[in-house]
Structure 1
Amino acid sequence: MLIMFLAFAIFLALGMPAAFSMGISGLIGIFTLDGVASVVIPQKIFMALNSFPLLAVPLFVLTGEIMNTGGITRRIVSFCNSMLRHWRGSLSHANIVTSMLMAGFSGSATADAVSVGAIMIPAMVEDGYSPEYSAGVTAASSCIGPIIPPSIIMVLYGGITGLSIGKLFMGGIVPGVLIGLSQMLITVYFGKKLGWPKYPRSTWAEKWTATKSAVWALFAPVIIIGSMLNGICTATEAATIAVMYCLFVSIVIYRDMSLKDIPKILLRAALNTAVPCLIISFASLFGFVITRENFASILVGFLFRISTDPNVVMLLVIVLLMIVGLFVDGTVALITFAPILFPLGETMGFSPIHFALIILMVIMIGTITPPVGLQLYVAASIAKVPVTKVVIWPFVIAMLAVVFLCAYVPAIVTFVPGLLMP
């Protein structure tokens, strides 16, 4: 197993894509095991994707593509701008609130960073915000998408651990809102420090026009989340509803999209789905070796030698994942550590939903921290600034504050799932 971890680290350091680094190192790990037939390799790769819950991943990716092409994203941005224009730093606030509303559609941080960033970053720069700050707030707000339901990473976590995806979704509502509010506090701070101007309040006519234009888009999260809460459908079926609803609104109501656009949308969605699916399938080899070598028990034993206090163990897990997030892609970190940390949470007596949300929130923070943060690179490329100059650390600190609050006040996470899905 040590050889496998070393190979994985070397491959990543050499610049090999994460999926292939994990797959090849997993193969090396399997070949070092005794009594394991080579037929296990294709079986594990196939079975990793042969999962009904994981079908939600391409469907939510497709939802995001339809939203961008069909004008849904643009209308949500316009709605937020009209409601918040009189606030100091209004476009920054609108950026964050847009991401909170977008979270009810696709659940993908990358899709959020691309779609919102393409609209908001140029607008913010034109309005006088620095490109470095515009990229930072966009990257940070994109992390809200996978925390507020629906969420692709929650689907992955539920598929790996067997936890209820519906309860994971509900557990993310309050933490996701708190993350958004914490980022808005950072905007308030920068607004006062830098003296950003206030603009006249939108007229009621302007607000009504923006609301009327966006109402179909704003109604979508109610349908998606409400259908799961009422037990009408599973997360995968809700993803199907999201696709069909967004298609209907984009083609019939808004008419910003036609049937001719569908092949291009399907192609982009397929390409964007291929990467996480490749990582999931190859990570199954990695996970097989970890399970076979009983690495979870080794990790638990190591942490217990440091402390048996659940509060200390929780802190160690957060620190571990923060360090991992600096160097490893979020999806890879999730696939690698979820099978390891899940038994640890059970051993320590943590609520599975509570522990899962802490893991997922810290992993999402890792997607905006250099040198590997994907959303950081996406936002920086749109703003055309070096990654090292993006204003990201104030938002990281604010998000970490929410993580620690949720970690040591579990009711913040468990209240909604306990109330709505006992």
Structure 2
Amino acid sequence: MSIALLFIILFVLLIIGSPVAVALGLSSLIFILTQGIPDLVVLHNMINGVNSFPLIAVPFFILAGHLMNSSGITDKIFGFARAGVGWMHGGLGHVNVGASVIFAGMSGAAVADAGGLGNIEIKAMKDAGYDKDFSVGITAASSTIGPIIPPSLPLIVYGVTGDASIGQLFAAGIIPGLMMALSLMVMVWWISRRRNYPKDDSFQLARLTSAFAEAFAPLMTPVIIVGGILSGVFTPTEAAIAAVAYSLILGVFVYRTITFKSLLRVSMETLETTASIMMIIAASSIFAWILTANQVAQDFADYLLAFTDNKTAILLIITLMILVIGCFMETLAAITILVPVLLPVAVHIGIDPVHFGIIMILNLMLGLLTPPVGMVLYVLSKVADVPFEKCVMATLPFLVPLIIVLLVLTFVPQLTMWLPEYLYR
């Protein structure tokens, strides 16, 4: 059975609607059995794939995000962002982006951002007279900032898979995340001028001060997480545990919005999400092992370098590959499969693994905004009660600034590498 047939089975399973973990695991198992490889290899690779200390951070960051959503903290974040940038033309669009930047420092996942803030943002924009397509589009696009600005679940998985420093990856994501936010705000301003959207309200220092005081405790969450990691006080795993502890303190003792019943519900949601993520990582590990054992990475590198040795051309080819695969495959599965194949090529042409990690994750975030997978679009389709097709069309204009930022970050590595080099090297 050839590697080509392995991929054919995988994509057929995905097309007929099989869960990603099932498609990866079953296609890998069929390959292994037809090659006469002991089936224990499957179990060993599944266990080795998830047997990693940094991956312990994943369930804790997921739990922290759920606790933030359940404790009403998202309302306070939205209120602070509204007081800070709502005075600009198309104010609530800017508030949408600003709130996502703040929430990005807490959740680390685009879907959590879309699900947690999306309902608040879209309702507020609808009540203020914004078109639903604009509201859905900017909410979807801004949610992709979450996995770029630390903490980030995809960056943790990339760091484990590619043996890269998670602390450096977190530091590298800050400037790109802010660039994404700025580019989206420019697009919001341009569309708002064309459609004559209103300003939310005039800027009032007293209002901003009051909103900041109300949101001060939640705003300390990213300071604790990111500051603790970058200063060396926490490892990423310890920072995730600290985030959960701080979220519990806020929800149970400060705001008193988390009850035993809600805590039980949040815990079950976290277990379900973590189980699905770990199954994807475990199944992806088998698939990646097959690719590595059959020297697919080396063959791909030889083919690509024989085709061209131009660094710019290779980067564009890799970027296009990741963009296309991101449209069809769940983010964490794509990371686990693509890193062993693409990272050696990137290193060979002089790309730093940390820089490549940011390029890959941003590429895959665009996949969350495109069919047929488009997880963020499915979430917002339910939240806003808008057909999936309309969500796709609403998001298209906001892909333009994100693609521009992706290209700039790809070919100007200093924007990504300056902070990690300053802090760690």
Identity rate, percent: 35
Deviation at 1:201, TM superposition (A): 1.4
* Structure 2 counterparts to residues 57-136 of structure 1, below 5 A: 57-136=58-137
Amino acid at match of 2:67: I
Contact 2:85–2:98 (CA under 8 A) maintained in structure 1: no
C-alpha distance after superposition, 1:322-370 (max 9, x if no partner): 1112222222221221121111112112111111111111011111112
Deviation at 1:200, TM superposition (A): 3.2
* Structure 2 counterparts to residues 225-374 of structure 1, below 5 A: 225-374=226-375
Contact 1:172–1:413 (CA under 8 A) maintained in structure 2: yes
C-alpha distance after superposition, 1:5-54 (max 9, x if no partner): 110011111111111011100111222335x3221111111121111100
1:167 aligns with 2:180: no
Contact 1:23–1:285 (CA under 8 A) maintained in structure 2: yes
- What is residue 410 of structure 2 aligned with on the other side? 407
Question: Which is further off, 162-171 or 247-256?
Answer: 247-256
2: CA distance, partners of 1:397 / 1:199: 25
C-alpha distance after superposition, 1:268-309 (max 9, x if no partner): 111122211110011111111101101001111221232111
Question: Which is further off, 321-330 or 395-404?
Answer: 321-330
1: CA distance, partners of 2:119 / 2:61: 19
Amino acid at match of 2:20: A
2: CA distance, partners of 1:199 / 1:109: 25
2: CA distance, partners of 1:33 / 1:97: 52
1: CA distance, partners of 2:193 / 2:228: 42
- What is residue 16 of structure 1 aligned with on the other side? 18
2: CA distance, partners of 1:306 / 1:416: 34
1: CA distance, partners of 2:257 / 2:92: 24
SS where residue 52 of structure 2 aligns? coil
Contact 2:90–2:200 (CA under 8 A) maintained in structure 1: no
Question: Which is further off, 76-85 or 289-298?
Answer: 76-85
What's the C-alpha RMSD, in Å, of the aligned pairs? 1.3
Amino acid at match of 1:70: S
SS where residue 362 of structure 2 aligns? helix
- What is residue 214 of structure 1 aligned with on the other side? 215
- What is residue 6 of structure 1 aligned with on the other side? 8
Question: Which is further off, 285-294 or 194-203?
Answer: 194-203
- What is residue 31 of structure 2 aligned with on the other side? 29
C-alpha distance after superposition, 1:138-173 (max 9, x if no partner): 111110000001100000001111110000000111
Question: Which is further off, 303-312 or 142-151?
Answer: 303-312
Mark the runs of 5 or more structure 1 residues left unpaired by the alignment.
none
Contact 1:29–1:286 (CA under 8 A) maintained in structure 2: no
SS where residue 345 of structure 2 aligns? helix
SS where residue 392 of structure 1 aligns? helix
Contact 1:179–1:399 (CA under 8 A) maintained in structure 2: yes
1: CA distance, partners of 2:410 / 2:48: 33
1: CA distance, partners of 2:35 / 2:236: 37
Question: Which is further off, 182-191 or 202-211?
Answer: 202-211
TM-score, reference length from structure 2: 0.96
2: CA distance, partners of 1:121 / 1:33: 52
Contact 1:147–1:361 (CA under 8 A) maintained in structure 2: yes
2: CA distance, partners of 1:338 / 1:146: 17
Deviation at 1:371, TM superposition (A): 2.2
1: CA distance, partners of 2:398 / 2:303: 32
2: CA distance, partners of 1:229 / 1:208: 28
Amino acid at match of 1:400: I
Contact 1:60–1:243 (CA under 8 A) maintained in structure 2: yes
Contact 1:145–1:151 (CA under 8 A) maintained in structure 2: yes
2: CA distance, partners of 1:66 / 1:376: 23
Amino acid at match of 1:355: F
Deviation at 1:60, TM superposition (A): 0.5
Contact 1:251–1:259 (CA under 8 A) maintained in structure 2: no
SS where residue 249 of structure 2 aligns? helix
1: CA distance, partners of 2:237 / 2:398: 32
- What is residue 376 of structure 2 aligned with on the other side? 375
TM-score, reference length from structure 1: 0.97
2: CA distance, partners of 1:408 / 1:202: 38
Amino acid at match of 2:315: M
Deviation at 1:78, TM superposition (A): 0.8
2: CA distance, partners of 1:122 / 1:386: 17
2: CA distance, partners of 1:349 / 1:276: 32
Amino acid at match of 1:253: V
SS where residue 16 of structure 1 aligns? coil
Amino acid at match of 1:239: A
Deviation at 1:389, TM superposition (A): 1.8
2: CA distance, partners of 1:323 / 1:203: 45
* Structure 2 counterparts to residues 143-158 of structure 1, below 5 A: 143-158=144-159
SS where residue 256 of structure 1 aligns? coil
1:420 aligns with 2:423: yes
Amino acid at match of 1:338: V
Mark the runs of 5 or more structure 2 residues left unpaired by the alignment.
none
2: CA distance, partners of 1:51 / 1:404: 32
